[in-house]
Amino acid sequence: MKPLPWRAVFGYGAGDAANNVAFMTTTMFLLVYYTDVAGISAAAAGTLLGLVRIFDAFADVFAGRVVDGAKVTRWGKFRPFILFGSIPLLILAFLNFHVPQIDESGMLIYAYLAYAAMGLAYSLVNIPYGSMAGAMTQRDGDRAKLASARVVGATLVSAALGALVSPLIVPGPELQGIFTRVLLILIVIGFVLYMVCFFSTKERVHRPVARVSMRDSMKSVSSNKPLLLLMASSVFFLSAYLCLNTVQIYYVRDVLEQPTLFPLIAGGQMILTLIMVVAMPRLVTAFGKKKLYITFGALVVLGGVIVSSGPREMVWLGFVGLMIALLGVLGNNVVVFALEADTVEYGEWKTGVRSEGSIYAVFSFTRKCGQAIGGALAGWALSIGGYVSGVADQTAEAIGGIQFAAGYVPAILALIATAIMIKYPLTEKAHTGIMEQIKIRQETGMLPQMDPFKETKKK
């Protein structure tokens, strides 16, 4: 198979940038919007984020079933979801930041329904988008490029939000107007990015996918040991990531009291991402995806400990700890999707059925569970610490709660995630052996009776 053209890699990255116009905006600012604009308590908001993201996890499974049952059109199997799902998703993202000022019960009902609807729309775009990587190429190097492109796209959006929007989020009556103007601009940007993704990518790996029952899908997943380990690790890592990302604005604004750091953090993320994109294919070749995943997890642990243990007066130390943790998050987000794509081939080798949609959906299910846990922990930590919305000077207890949620919680969760991945068996050599056997089966109709994991151990 020929290498992917850079046009396709760029377009794929634009797709994740578009996804994160909705996802990262809600991740970074929805809790702040609930507490500081809508007037919803931190505890109720944290519970809302947790419960709806659990619903999102099941929405991912539903979306995976829809994707696997979709027919291949002249645009491919996955790209039509991007074309037709982008506008509803972006409109629903806008509506999440416009909770009507009615009684508290009415506001909560609206917030639950709007966020759940956006989650379903996001699943019906993101699941086919993520599944499309396996249909674009089977080359390890190209998959590393696509994974890197995803991180670049997501990080550019995150950095732009951090540099341009975060400094605007200060307590005051003008916040609703700020959110309205920002979301209108983001809808336009997101739609353009989705169209760039749609028109510049192409699905080159076409294989018939059997329409299997949910029971058979779950059976296939349960026999995919690498996927199960990756899923278990991702639950904890995404909990760490979402907790850190959600509380970050409170940490910089209320603990360090340095909102001028937002542009520096955003710029640092961009620089680290660009360096990583250039270096990642070589790092994967030199060390392997598993070792890199573990290393990046260790960075999140280190950064989290620094964030929580450093005195708030030592702003530079808090900034350094935050950047170390963010480096670990960025690196993990590159390799995790390349690892997930490898598990698709393992599942095909193991069961004879290639099912990108269902595997990506189940994988995304566990990631959404992690997001639910992380978002809920962020809200609960603020509530337990006694955070009061709209107050410029928080109590010492509230500051401690923010610092704990931004540091120790992500560190503990990342440590568990890293420990799980030590048992991950699908190395680059084993994956190469699996690909060779799949090719033989396609050509002869028979699968050689050898275990690529045992062969790897012998080597």
Residue with token string 């899908």: 217
Report how far residue 354's alpha carbon sits from residue 367's, in angstroms, rounded to the nearest whole number: 21
Mean pLDDT in residue range 11-28: 92
Report how far residue 245's alpha carbon sits from residue 254's, in angstroms, rounded to the nearest whole number: 15
Helix or strand holding residue 403 (H, E): helix 396-406
Residue with token string 């949910």: 214
Classify residue 181 by burial, with Cβ atoms within 10 Å: 0-12, 13-18, 19+. Answer: exposed
Report how far residue 200's alpha carbon sits from residue 311's, in angstroms, rounded to the nearest whole number: 48
In this structure, are residues 356 and 228 in contact, taking their beta carbons and an 8 Å threshold? no
Q: From the CA atom positions of the chain, what is the Rg in Å? A: 22
Measured between its terminal Cα atoms, the distance across the chain in Å is: 26
Least confident of 141-150, 202-211, 260-269: 202-211
Residue 459 pLDDT grade (very low, low, confident, very high; cuts 50, 70, 90): very low
3-state secondary structure of 211: coil
In this structure, are residues 220 and 351 in contact, taking their beta carbons and an 8 Å threshold? yes
User: Which residues on adjacent β-strands are paired with residue 73?
Assistant: 76
24-82 pLDDT per residue, tens: 899 889 988 998 899 888 889 888 988 998 888 788 778 877 877 778 788 888 899 99
Mean pLDDT in residue range 429-443: 76
CATH architecture of 6-200+216-426: Up-down Bundle (1.20)
Phi, psi of 257 (to 5 degrees): 55, 45
Q: Any idea what the Cα angle at residue 441 is, between residues 440 and 447, rounded to 5°? A: 100
Q: What's this model's pTM, rounded to 2 decimal places?
A: 0.70
Mean pLDDT in residue range 394-419: 90
157-181 pLDDT per residue, tens: 988 888 888 888 877 788 899 999 9
Report how far residue 406's alpha carbon sits from residue 251's, in angstroms, rounded to the nearest whole number: 7
Phi, psi of 427 (to 5 degrees): -80, 175
Report how far residue 307's alpha carbon sits from residue 458's, in angstroms, rounded to the nearest whole number: 44
93-137 pLDDT per residue, tens: 999 999 998 888 899 999 999 999 999 999 999 988 988 887 788
